[in-house]
Amino acid sequence: MAANRRWVRILHLEDNLQDAELILRQLQAAGFDCDVVRAADGAEYETALAGGNFDLVLCDFSVPGYDALLALKRARELRPDLPFVVISGELSEEQAVECLRAGATDYLLKHRLQRLVPAVQRALEEAVERKRRHLAEIARRESEDRFRSVVAAMAEGVIVQDRRGRIIARNAAASRILGLTGKAPGNRRAADQRQRTIREDGSTVCREKHPAIITLRTGRAQSQVVLGMETDGGELRWLSINTEPLKHAGDETPYAVVTTLVDITDRKRAEAKLREHASNLRELTRRLVEVEEEERRNINRELHDRVGQDLAAVKLNIELVRATLAEVVRAQVGPRLDDAQKLLQATIDNTRNIMAELRPPGLDDYGLAVALKAHADTVAQRLGIPVRVSGEDPAPRLPPAVETALYRIAQEALNNIAKYARAKNVEIALATHASDVTLTVADDGTGFDLGNVPADSYGLRIMRERAEAVGARLEVASTPGRGTHIAVNLESPP
């Protein structure tokens, strides 16, 4: 029982002590723990009312020099929500009505006190309910205010449209982003006919295809839709748009739609600039590579035609001179001639090596696979490990610029393997499928951490640039301890 007892603070205006005790006993019997302040007259009542924090007023209709209507007035002035029950020996119907009109919660007669407990219970419950509603209302208003100030302060534009697409609210950011000047929200539609809206490809978006209108029609949210919108001033602004339908519980058709707008014009401009920059850079790299290769070819030709041929002529001359020398002279200058011939042969070999570096031997005449094989053999010999080459050139052959790029990428990959990999096996493969060609260079060496490449190293970067310059894609995969795999993929070779 104790758990159900309720503690209640009562201000009781009653000049009759016996009546007061009777009433108290009834309440106690019904499970109320009463903390009662009894006032015997108006003065005591008013003092107690002003000083105490009561849950309930019980009030005799009349005490000498004072009455319930006056008591009620005072109570309403100080505590409008305080439950107030009039209990009277006699009470006419008019008096009862008057009390209720003045704001009494209930009234009852002393000779029918069986109504006392239910009346008090109801009065207290109503007071609790009123208080709860009051607090909820305050909380709702506060949260609405908070929400309003958050929306107002947001950098994102927020627009609310009713079910017919008319703007019923928008924040300052929305007006700024859309360049909406002046007009009252209600008079205008978000996808105003005069406000041209376009997609990223430049095509016009009709009103029906506007994200907010789609949400109103389908009930589904739209996210990250990028559209360009002309402002009132005629400027095109790019927006990233999200929409959210507002629905009443149990109703699938939205009664409104909330749209948020982020102005991405600057970002889009920066992206376009960056794209242009990257494209310029690619073009520059391509041109640089072209010029470099052209220069190498020229030097190679010069070495071959001028130096190489002259050296060969000198070699022949020396042999002829030796053959025509008299025996005595030959014996005298023979060692010198031997020396000169050795030096000449070394110079011829060095020149050939330089020529091979400048222009891969066989690349122009025999193609990529043959040139790679030749280079792989040299590397294999130098490192003392097998470097296998598989695959054929596609038919028809790749354009010279692409062949050169692929060759140079493989060359740098092999350089890196020689420098770092400590590999036991290297595989080079040239694979041709219907619409693409892939060159792979794989080793089973130390591997490396791709996220930790020294800033001052250029090999991998140049590989990528060479690939991109001819429209190919470079993929590098490496795991420390498990080797490195480099792939250049060229889709639909030109």
Q: Which residues bind ligand ATP (CB under 6 A)?
A: 416-417, 419-421, 443, 445-448, 453-454, 457-460, 484
Cβ closest to ligand ATP, residue 178 vs residue 460 = 460
Q: Give the Cα separation of 100 and 92 in Å (integer).
A: 13
Residue 259 touches Mg ion, criterion: CB under 5 A: no
Nearest to 246 by CA among 336, 308, 298, 169: 169
Residue recorded with tokens 């242009």: 276
Q: Which has the closest alpha carbon to 410: 370, 351, 455?
A: 370
179: phi > 0 → left, psi -120 to 50 → alpha, else beta; which? left
445 binds, among ligand ATP, Mg ion, none (CB under 5 to 8 A by kind): ligand ATP
Other CB atoms within a 10 A radius of the CB of residue 481 amount to: 9
Would you say the C-alpha torsion 202, 207, 213, 214 has a positive or negative sign?
Answer: negative
Shortest Å distance, C-beta 289 to ligand ATP: 16
57 or 486: whose CB is closer to Mg ion? 486
Q: Which does 493 bind (CB under 5 to 8 A by kind): ligand ATP, Mg ion, none?
A: none
User: Closest approach of Cβ 452 to ligand ATP, in Å?
Assistant: 8
Which ranges in 303-423 belong to alpha helices (H)? 309-324, 327-358, 363-366, 368-383, 400-416
When asked if residue 459 is in the footprint of Mg ion (CB under 5 A), the reply is yes
Angle at 202 between CA 200 and CA 207, to 5 degrees: 90
Residue placing its CB nearer to ligand ATP in the complex, 378 or 457: 457
Residue window 401-430: x/- pattern of binding to Mg ion, with contact defined by CB under 5 A:
---------------x--------------
Name the residue number minimizing CB distance to Mg ion: 459
CB of 369 to Mg ion, least distance (A): 23
Q: Determine the Cα angle at 346 with ends 344 and 348, to 5°.
A: 70
User: Which residue number places its CB atom closest to ligand ATP?
Assistant: 459
Task: Output the CA angle 278-284-288, nearest 5 degrees.
Answer: 145
With binding defined as CB under 5 A, does residue 42 bind Mg ion?
no
CB of 374 to ligand ATP, least distance (A): 21
CB of 427 to ligand ATP, least distance (A): 12
Q: Which does 384 bind (CB under 5 to 8 A by kind): Mg ion, ligand ATP, none?
A: none
Q: Name which of 190, 158, 156 is nearest 171 in CA terms.
A: 158
List the beta bridge partners of residue 85.
58, 106
Query: Smallest distance, Å, CB 272 to Mg ion?
Result: 34
* Closest to Mg ion by CB, 112 or 419: 419
Number of helical H runs and strand E runs in the chain: 14, 18
Q: How far apart are CA 454 and CA 461, in angstroms?
A: 11
Q: Considering CB distances under 5 to 8 angstroms, the limit depending on partner class, which of Mg ion, ligand ATP, none binds residue 487? A: none
For residue 421, the partner it binds in ligand ATP, Mg ion, none, with Cβ less than 5 to 8 A by kind, is: ligand ATP
Report the residue number, 255 or 458, with the smaller CB distance to ligand ATP. Answer: 458
Interhelix angle 17-29/116-153, rounded to 10 degrees, is: 70
Helix (H, G, I), strand (E, B) or coil at 475: strand
Q: Give the dihedral of Cα atoms 308, 311, 317, 318; nearest 10 deg.
A: -140
**Applying CB under 5 A, which part among 55-63, 294-302, 402-410, 459-467 lies near Mg ion?**
459-467
Residue (367 or 483) nearer to ligand ATP, CB: 483
Strand 6-13 vs strand 426-432: parallel, antiparallel, or unpaired? unpaired
Instruction: Give min distance, CB of 428 to ligand ATP, in A.
Output: 13
| Least spacing, CB of residue 158 vs ligand ATP, in Å | 49
Choose between 231 and 411: whose C-beta lies nearer to Mg ion. 411
The two tokens of residue 129 are: 């309910």
173 binds, among Mg ion, ligand ATP, none (CB under 5 to 8 A by kind): none
Output the CA–CA distances (angstroms, integers) from residue 429 to 291, 326, 410, 416, 437, in the order listed: 28, 59, 10, 17, 10
Residue count, binding to Mg ion (CB under 5 A): 2
* Rounded least distance, CB 407 to ligand ATP, Å: 16
**C-beta of 371: minimal distance to ligand ATP in Å?**
21
Cβ closer to ligand ATP: 39 or 426?
Answer: 426
Q: Which residues of the chain form contacts with Mg ion (CB under 5 A)? A: 416, 459
